[in-house]
Amino acid sequence: MFIENYDIIVVGAGHAGCEAALASARLGAKTALFTLTLDALANMPCNPSIGGTAKGHLVREIDALGGEMGKAADATFIQSRILNRGRGPAVHSLRVQADRTRYHEYMKKAVECCENLDLRQGEIIKILSENGKVTGVQTKIGSMFSARAVIICSGTYLKGKVFVGESSYESGPDAVCPANLLSDSLKELGISLRRFKTGTPARVHRRSINFDKLQKQDGDEDIVPFSFDNHSKLENKISCYIAYTNEKTHEIIKNNIKRSAMYGGQIEGIGPRYCPSIEDKIMRFSDKPRHQLFIEPMGLNTDEYYLQGMSTSLPEDVQIEFLRTIEGLENVEIMRNAYAIEYDCCDPTELLPTLEFKQIQGLFGAGQFNGTSGYEEAAAQGLIAGINAYRKISGKDGLILDRASSYIGTLIDDLVTKGCMDPYRMLTSRSEYRLLLRQDNADQRLTPIGYEVGLISKERYERLLEKVSQIKTEIKRLWNVNISPKEANEYLEKCGTEPLQTGAKLAQIIRRPQCSYEDTDFLDEKRPALSKDVREQVDLSIKYEGYIKIQLEQVEQMRKLERKALPGDLDYSNIRGLRLEAIEKLNKIKPLSVGQASRISGVNPADVSVLLVWLEQNRREINKNKNHP
């Protein structure tokens, strides 16, 4: 007997689970969010930071679609910085150091106050199903709850196992109990599971750090919020610091390398390629004399500091020894030792682009359960899974973001099409359209979609339309403003660029790398008063117009292939001309389009040509049968 009936149940209340539950409930579905403990909701077991290179793009996209992470980060940050300012705008990425406790409290309150959403503490041990469709869940104490869709957001808790040197024990992060029974239920449903591994550095006491010996790192003076809906004045509250390892640090780690759980052979899970442990850095990059670490506070009301870049599975005595060789940490006191953690996760190629499992209708996956790493990647998937679970039970087509629309689309396409052999981390280099997918224009790309889905209010959508109108109007005006050599040449020479020989449009001057929209104000008597973000968009749109045009042409070619749909039940072994490897991969992934098929590893251009020929022949055959019944 079911205790209660829900439309959607979300298993796990980390960053993926919170976004999934909030999205489905806000769209009108009666939703339950289950967590092992309410005290770990939206926990940050690793560094309490949000954003970073490419990850900041994801957070702004989450906000543009109507998610919560950006608002939570704005409300609880203690330092904010834009990374990669010395490079082009495509890779500028916002990152904030958040107050860990306040972030948890903010998100817990958002969940508690959300209409249609019940927050429940309890371990889910079984996914209930009938005839290949989800029907509900069962808790460890035997309670059953019905659901039309279930979203698994289990993070690193599925059969979690912690490693510190030669010691290991069953646990989730931060000493929370692991979820040991759900894995068996998932396997019974035919879902493939594998072991991944991640790690976290030690937390140390503030009083044991000599900050005078460290390199200070302050936040930006002019702070950019994560949320496009945030127009308040934001301020930094703390400083972060930088330190470096040295030859003595490396010597201690090398001398004890066999005591590392990873190098000692105790860990079977595959670790993250782009976030290696300190022993992995030293062994793989033995020619580097030092490695950077960031010393960052965990919050305003705690003396815990986080040592970013120093994750390790070495024993605690070795951790203390090598940390005390670092300048500024000679007397360091460890409050929480570093550890590695191993956990079960699924093979994301078993998912549709909607994040629904192919073999079980109504069952969705999101976050680290899908093989990713990072809070931001998890939250992005959770948002899409929540939207699509709602659309599934409502009889609507799923929301699928393509690679040219967003980093979220790139992330999900990479997972379900290419899979991942180690924990997937979003990088700007993963997108072939990154000039289009800047963090500054995420609202223009995705807020219309969020409005159509139902997570963006009419008022916010209308503000976006007004902003876009102002940008277009101002760009058009600048192409009609004439500037003479007499007016501009003194400024151009100061900028270190060629003077004008004849008159030019003001937009042509702004397009020059050495010039900007802001600096040419004195040349423009009729310049309107515009907001900072509108001015920024005008400047970038003019400067990169040619490059953007080229990428848009590439996008159109890609979308032509995306529009060529492939049947979901197609047996590719029946198509003559495909190579054996292509047949195997195509039958496993079951791509929805020729575009998706073209991105599958093992499918080459010749195979794509065969698919296009088959589609055309199939179309003609269908038309022939229609005309001659």
Mean pLDDT of 189-203: 96
Using CA atoms, how far residue 596 sits from 180, 430, 558, 591, 592, in Å, is 35, 16, 10, 6, 7
pLDDT score, position 275? 82
Give the C-alpha separation, 75 to 231, whole Å.
12
Distances (CA, A) of 531 to 220, 457, 466, 467, 470: 19, 21, 12, 9, 10
In this prediction, residues 159-164 reach a mean pLDDT of: 97
**Angle subtended by helix axes 545-562 and 532-543, to nearest 10:** 80
Average pLDDT of the residues in 95-102: 98
Both tokens of 218, joined, read: 């302050």
pLDDT of residue 322: 98
Nearest to 147 by CA among 136, 133, 131, 137: 136
Is pLDDT of 448 > 70?
yes
- pLDDT, average across residues 472-477: 98
Number of alpha carbons in the 13 Å side-chain half-sphere of residue 3: 10
Predicted pLDDT of residue 134: 98
Nearest by Cα to 18 from 48, 45, 38: 38
Dihedral angle, C-alpha 310, 313, 316, 317, nearest 10 °? -90
pLDDT for position 154: 98
Non-local CB neighbours of 498 within 8 Å, separated by 6+ positions: 492
* Contact yes or no for 163/261 (Cβ under 8 A): yes
* Burial zone of 257 (CB within 10 Å; 0-12 exposed, 13-18 middle, 19+ buried): middle
With b meaning 16 or more CB within 10 Å and e meaning fewer, what string describes 614-627? bbeeeeeeeeeeee
CA–CA separation, 583 and 503 (whole Å) = 61
CA within 13 Å, CB half, 333 = 7
The per-residue pLDDT for 265 is: 87
Q: Whose CA is closest to 384, among 359, 351, 358?
A: 351
Burial class of residue 606 in the structure, from the number of CB atoms within 10 Å of its CB (0-12 exposed, 13-18 middle, 19+ buried): exposed
Q: What is the CA radius of gyration of the chain?
A: 26
The mean pLDDT value for 452-470 works out to 98
Structure confidence at residue 604 (pLDDT):
95
Alpha carbons 249 and 281: distance in angstroms, whole number: 12
The model's pLDDT over 320-355, given as tens digits with 9 standing for 90+, comes to 999 999 999 999 999 999 999 999 999 999 999 999
Class of domain 459-551: mainly alpha
DSSP assignment of 559-620, as one string? HHHHTSB--TT--GGGSTT--HHHHHHHHHH--SBHHHHHTSTT--HHHHHHHHHHHHHHHH
Any idea what the Cα angle at residue 309 is, between residues 307 and 313, rounded to 5°?
85
* Residue 486, number of CB atoms within 10 A of its CB: 9
Residue with tokens 């869940």: 137
9: phi then psi, degrees, rounded to nearest 5: -120, 130
Mean pLDDT of the region 429-439: 96
Quote the pLDDT of residue 625. 75
Coil/strand/helix, residue 5: strand
Around 308, how many Cα atoms within 13 Å sit in the side-chain half-sphere?
13
Distance, CA of 502 to CA of 485 (rounded, Å): 6
Tell me the pTM. 0.96
Axis crossing angle, helix 442-453 with helix 55-65, rounded to the nearest 10: 40
Q: How confident is the model at residue 1 (pLDDT cuts 50, 70, 90)?
A: confident
Q: Which amino acid belongs to residue 376?
A: E
- With respect to CATH, is domain 203-341 assigned 2.40.30.260? yes
Q: Which residue has the tokens 């003396």?
A: 303
| Residue 400 to residue 596: CA distance in whole angstroms | 12
- The vertex-357 CA angle with 592 and 605, nearest 5°, equals 30
φ, ψ for residue 96 (rounded to 5)?
-125, 145
In the chain, ranges of CATH 1.10.150.570 domains: 563-627
Q: What is the pLDDT of residue 621?
A: 83
Burial of 526 (0-12, 13-18, 19+ CB in 10 A): exposed
User: What are the residue ranges of CATH 1.10.10.1800 in the chain?
Assistant: 459-551
Helix (H, G, I), strand (E, B) or coil at 64: helix
Q: How far apart are CA 230 and CA 463, in angstroms?
A: 12
- In this prediction, residues 270-279 reach a mean pLDDT of 87
Q: What is the pLDDT of residue 112?
A: 98
Backbone angles phi, psi at 151, to 5 degrees: -120, 120
628 band by pLDDT with thresholds 50, 70 and 90: low
Q: What is the pLDDT of the chain when averaged over all its residues?
A: 96
Helix (H), strand (E) counts: the chain: 19, 24
Distance CA 423, CA 420 (A): 7
pLDDT of 629 = 61
The SS3 of residue 486 is: helix
Range list for CATH 2.40.30.260 in the chain: 203-341
The fold of the 2-196+342-453 domain, in CATH, is FAD/NAD(P)-binding domain (3.50.50)
Looking at domain 563-627, its CATH class is: mainly alpha
Q: Which residues face 365 on adjacent strands?
A: 152
Tokens 């070795």 belong to 318
Residue 11: pLDDT over 90 = yes
Phi-psi category of residue 461: left, alpha or beta, with phi > 0 → left and psi -120 to 50 → alpha: alpha
- The residue among 23, 44, 140, 20 whose CA lies nearest residue 99 is 44
Q: Which segments of the chain belong to CATH 3.50.50.60? A: 2-196+342-453
Q: What is the dihedral of CA 2, 4, 8, 11, to 10 degrees?
A: -80
- pLDDT(619) > 90: no
Q: What is the arithmetic mean of pLDDT over 143-158?
A: 98
Tell me how far apart the alpha carbons of residues 534 and 269 are, in angstroms, rounded to a whole number.
47
What pairs with residue 331 in β-bridges? none
Please compute the mean of the pLDDT values over residues 293-299 and round it to a whole number. Answer: 97
Distant-in-sequence, close-in-space partners of 36: CB < 8 Å, separation ≥ 6: 121, 122, 123, 157, 172, 176, 177, 179
**Is it the case that residue 417 has pLDDT exceeding 90?**
yes
Is the alpha carbon torsion for 542, 70, 56, 432 positive or negative? negative
The whole-angstrom separation of Cα 213 and Cα 326 is: 10
